[in-house]
Amino acid sequence: MTGASPLGLAMRRFARHRLAIASGVVLAILVVATLSAPLVAWLLGVDPEGVDLFNRFAAPSLAHPLGTDELGRDVLVRLLYGGRVSLAVGLAAAVAAAAIGTVIGLVAGFYGGRLDALLMRVTDGVIALPFLPLLIVLAAIDLRELGLPDHLAGSEHVGLVRIVVIVALVGWTTVARLVRGSALALRQRPFVEAARAQGAGAGRLMGVHILPNLGSPIIVATTLAAGNMILLESVLSFLGLGIQPPTPSWGNLLTNAQELIWSAPALAFYPGALIFVTVIALNFLGDGLRDALDPRTVRR
């Protein structure tokens, strides 16, 4: 393996992590399936929002592979459309949280001193906040009270953005601490000192010389955080404070099914199983990326 590129070494280490590869395949299948939701609905000839009270709780069939719900809507199509929302919100919130955490951690690690102490105390304060109650309070705020027009406050897209912002605002702390620790070590490296000696400013040192070397911890932290973000979105939707019907998400599909758990348990099982599989797959994928991108990983 001598002389191999860092990317080649990382790919070889990742290839040895079978659970991570399997998780990547599962996530790819989920993404493709959710993106193909309109195609599936067209092939089945169903409307994801169409109500058919004469076809309630229908058993699985060729017309409805997973049956229908309490309003006669196709379960498979609604699961796929719900997956589009849950995955999009989870991944967007994870990326947004990673961006916030990267900026705060990079500034704190590069400058150090009092600014570092101040930013880390803010980070510790956010970590110390009661997580779920804070999310519930933020999600319960009426956007109309903040001056947003009625047509925007009730918009589906504004609701999605709102959930992404809320979850990202409290989910950046892990990335910030990881980036800060790495930046503290990198700012003393010879290549950074050489760039500083040549007159490079703080912005160039952080953006050109330090930030590219933080890719590994940021990617791993974002992957691991995506699972938590999907869980948080599901929890808020389950409590009725997240994605609002008729827009489906895995969380509000669980909410709709909780009163039918004894008469139609499959309606709760399907979204719950998809949330479980997605979060577990993201965690395994994050573990595999961490092992692959860590240069200290040694083959046993």
For residue 259, the domain's CATH number is 1.10.3720.10
Closest CA to 10 of 220, 182, 233, 190: 220
- φ, ψ of residue 265 to 5 degrees: the values are -65, -25
- Any domain includes 263: yes
Give 89's Cβ-side CA count (13 Å radius).
35
- Any domain includes 298: no
Closest CA to 281 of 215, 207, 226: 226
pLDDT (0 to 100) of residue 100? 92
Task: Provide, for the chain, the percentages of residues in helix, strand and coil under a 3-state DSSP scheme, each rounded to the nearest 5.
Answer: 75, 0, 25
- Any domain includes 299: no
pLDDT (0 to 100) of residue 156? 65
Using CA atoms, how far apart are residues 74 and 71, in angstroms rounded to an integer? Answer: 9
Residues of the chain with pLDDT under 50: 1-3, 298-300
pLDDT (0 to 100) of residue 81? 92
The two structure tokens encoding residue 51 = 């109500």
The DSSP string of 183-206 is HHHHTTSHHHHHHHHTT--HHHII
Using CA atoms, how far apart are residues 223 and 233, in angstroms rounded to an integer? Answer: 16
pLDDT (0 to 100) of residue 4? 59
Using CA atoms, how far apart are residues 71 and 63, in angstroms rounded to an integer? Answer: 16
- Judge contact between 25 and 15, C-beta under 8 A: no
With 0-12 CB in 10 A as exposed, 13-18 as middle and 19+ as buried, what is 276?
Answer: exposed
Residue 241 CB contacts under 8 Å (≥ 6 apart), including other chains: 136, 139, 140
Side chain identity at 282, as an amino acid letter? L
Using CA atoms, how far apart are residues 69 and 193, in angstroms rounded to an integer? Answer: 64
Give the pTM. Answer: 0.82
Structural domain of residue 254, as residue ranges? Answer: 6-293
Closest CA to 256 of 36, 61, 50, 75: 75
- Any domain includes 274: yes
- Any domain includes 219: yes
The DSSP code for 68 is B
The C-alpha R_g of the chain, in whole angstroms, comes to 23
Using CA atoms, how far apart are residues 177 and 171, in angstroms rounded to an integer? Answer: 12
- Any domain includes 1: no
Using CA atoms, how far apart are residues 279 and 270, in angstroms rounded to an integer? Answer: 14
Using CA atoms, how far apart are residues 113 and 59, in angstroms rounded to an integer? Answer: 65
End-to-end CA distance of the chain, in Å?
A: 14
Determine the distance from the C-alpha atom of residue 198 to the mean position of all C-alpha atoms in its chain, rounded to a whole number.
40
Q: How many domains does the chain have?
A: 1
